[in-house]
Amino acid sequence: MKKFLVIGNPIEHSLSPKLQNYWIKTHSLEAIYGKLKVEANELGELCSNLKEGKLDGLNITVPFKKLIIPHLDVLSGDALRTQSVNTITVEKGNLIGHNTDIDGFELSIKKLNYDVSGKSVFILGAGGVVPSIIYSLKRMKSGRIFLSNRTKEKAKDLKKLFDDLNILDWGQIPAFDIIINATSLGLNQNDKFGFDFTKAGNDKLFYDVIYNPYETEFSIAGNKPGNNFENGLHMFMFQAQKAFNIWHNIDPKIDEKLISFLKKI
């Protein structure tokens, strides 16, 4: 029986076990996928367990996507360039860090038939998934990328990876075609940004990395006539599909049946 885990803190909300176990069952694999809340000082022990064969793979979520890196032996090119790992495999006793968030974001944009090339992008937030989104946008040849985070220092840190990033103060709003909510605002129904990002006019793509079911300030603006709204469910499913392929060498299906299964509480 192969064993997989998603680790993070918090981890209660994660739908990864539900999704991965659904595909494991569909393909009749001898495997199980669980979730574990961990502290940063437990990462070393978990990686030792992987090396010793007690575990077969990990998914990493916030806040450990960068912190896990010193415990790994090799990084894929994408993981290296974003300094962000969300999937780990073991090959001949070596721990390999991959980043499937980049492909996850790109596939979710392609599914919308949205052409990112030359478009101005405004990113709110500077958390764990943001380097992957920026890298993916650049790969799709987006135009200028603006970023604003409540804690400006964290936004400035991202300039070390992407030197042409335009950092704005929290509350400052540039002209944009796409706005991406990569903060955790919206996880709670009554969350408020505290500034008005709807002044930018119509014909905008509102992309929320969160996939919760609530109507939020962000989703209401994105669902106004003329705008487009996408939440993070497809990005989540596509990054998981890539991880499943890395571990099991199978491309599992994403269809309406799976989506309604995930939406069922």
The first and second tokens of residue 17, run together, are: 């076990």
Burial 54-68 (b: 16+ CB within 10 A, else e): ebbbbbbbeebbeeb
Active-site residue, 65 included: yes
Minimum CB–partner distance for residue 66 and ligand ATR (Å):
8
Minimum CB–partner distance for residue 125 and ligand ATR (Å):
4
Q: List interacting residues with ligand ATR (CB under 6 A).
A: 62-63, 125-128, 149-151, 154, 183-185
Q: Is 138 exposed, middle or buried (0-12, 13-18, 19+ CB in 10 A)?
A: middle
Peptide bond into 10 cis (omega under 30): yes
| C-beta closer to ligand ATR: residue 23 or 218 | 218
Minimum CB–partner distance for residue 154 and ligand ATR (Å):
4
| C-beta closer to ligand ATR: residue 36 or 187 | 187
Helix (H) or strand (E) holding 221: helix 217-222
Name the active-site residue from 35, 65, 119, 242.
65
98, 89 in Cβ contact below 8 A? yes
| C-beta closer to ligand ATR: residue 10 or 53 | 10
The first and second tokens of residue 127, run together, are: 């958390």
Minimum CB–partner distance for residue 215 and ligand ATR (Å):
18
| C-beta closer to ligand ATR: residue 11 or 29 | 11
Q: Is 77 exposed, middle or buried (0-12, 13-18, 19+ CB in 10 A)?
A: exposed
Q: Which residue of this chain has its Cβ atom nearest to ligand ATR in the complex?
A: 127
Q: Which amino acids are annotated catalytic? A: 65
